């Protein structure tokens, strides 16, 4: 059983533009029922008598929340914390950046080795990797596993940009780049979906939240991939989430699959919000990531040479659903 101090978790999706609607999603565990409940799914703009900052702070304090999961970068890229005299990207001598660039070069050199050893076989495997295989799972091959995909190879050749990327970006590329691109047609960059105004506003908000509130970072797309890996949702769910004609219904189906297989009760009014508002859905998924954090079912993220302040959480749902076969 969970202790009283770890029986609630919230998710809040903060990415997007200036006029984005934010939702606060609270999950609570009740010992008597031995079940998690989605007890609050509130939209920031509905609190008309409060500013957005005041509404968020009020929700956190009224729920006695101790842990919050957001999809917003909590740490800075190396350039913003570096005091070295900068010689430019090509001659950058920050130890963390140098270490990442060495690892990138090592992967590319290994790829070049495969080309030289058997160019014909390499090209055949490359063509096969580029084809669409409807019966093949995006999880059948790791992104950093040779033969490298063309898109991932291009990403590595562009290199690690120290004023734009964080060390966690590189780790995510190695483990999720191909999966995110093939499934959602996106690539991960820490600040790729964050406006400058929102960045400053969030750091302003942090100063007003309770000091004992622990804030963690995650990513909705990665969480969905992990839900798929554990057979909690299906490939069809992922495809439908990208279809404008059925995405509203798809969000409900994903939420119901999570409800059924992860012991979470969702009220019908909250399901309606999840179906209508993508940000409500994202906040719910982030809260579910937080549930994994409380249960200590997360993947270990390496420090990559520094202790990354992002506190990035990758959930692991395999223990929740080990007996099921992939659809």
Strands 67-70 and 214-217: parallel
Q: What pLDDT is stored for residue 136 in this prediction?
A: 72
Extents of the domains making up the chain: 4-76+192-320, 78-184
Q: Is the pTM of this model over 0.85?
A: yes
What pLDDT is stored for residue 46 in this prediction?
46
State the CB neighbour count (10 A cutoff) for residue 157: 9
Closest residue by Cα to residue 96 from 306, 312, 302 = 306
pLDDT mean over 39-62: 75
Q: Does the structure show a pLDDT above 90 at 154? A: yes
pLDDT tens digit sequence for 80-127: 877 777 777 667 777 888 889 999 999 999 999 999 999 888 888 888
| CATH architecture of the region 4-76+192-320 | 2-Layer Sandwich (3.30)
Percent of the chain with pLDDT over 90: 48
High-pLDDT (> 70) share of the chain, %: 87
Q: How confident is the model over 151-178, as a mean pLDDT?
A: 91
């Amino acid at each position: 059983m969970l202790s009283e101090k770890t029986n609630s978790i919230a998710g809040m999706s903060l990415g997007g533009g200036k006029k984005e609607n934010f939702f606060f999603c609270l999950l609570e565990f009740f010992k008597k029922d031995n079940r998690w409940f989605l007890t609050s799914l509130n939209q920031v703009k509905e609190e008309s008598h409060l500013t957005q900052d005041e509404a968020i702070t009020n929700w956190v304090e009224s729920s006695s929340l101790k842990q919050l999961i957001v999809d917003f970068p909590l740490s800075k890229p190396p350039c913003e914390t570096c005091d070295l005299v900068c010689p430019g990207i090509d001659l950058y001598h920050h130890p963390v950046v140098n270490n990442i660039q060495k690892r990138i070069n090592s992967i590319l050199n290994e790829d070049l080795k495969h080309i030289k050893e058997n160019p014909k076989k390499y090209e055949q495997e490359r063509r096969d990797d580029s084809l669409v295989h409807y019966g093949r799972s995006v999880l059948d091959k790791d992104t950093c596993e040779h033969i490298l995909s063309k898109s991932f190879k291009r990403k590595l050749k562009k290199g690690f940009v120290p004023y734009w990327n964080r060390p966690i970006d590189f780790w995510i590329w190695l483990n999720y780049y191909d999966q995110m691109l093939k499934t959602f047609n996106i690539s991960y960059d820490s600040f790729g979906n964050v406006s400058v105004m929102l960045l400053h506003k969030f750091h302003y908000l942090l100063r007003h939240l309770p000091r004992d509130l622990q804030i963690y970072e995650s990513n909705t797309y990665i969480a969905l991939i992990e839900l798929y890996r554990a057979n909690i949702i299906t490939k069809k769910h992922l495809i439908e989430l990208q279809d404008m004609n059925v995405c509203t219904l798809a969000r409900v189906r994903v939420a119901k699959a999570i409800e059924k297989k992860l012991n979470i009760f969702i009220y019908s009014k909250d399901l309606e919000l999840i179906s209508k508002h993508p940000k409500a859905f994202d906040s719910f998924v982030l809260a579910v990531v937080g549930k994994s954090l409380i249960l200590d079912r997360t993947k270990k993220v390496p420090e990559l040479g520094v202790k990354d302040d992002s506190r990035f959480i990758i959930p692991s749902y395999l223990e929740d659903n080990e007996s099921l076969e992939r659809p």
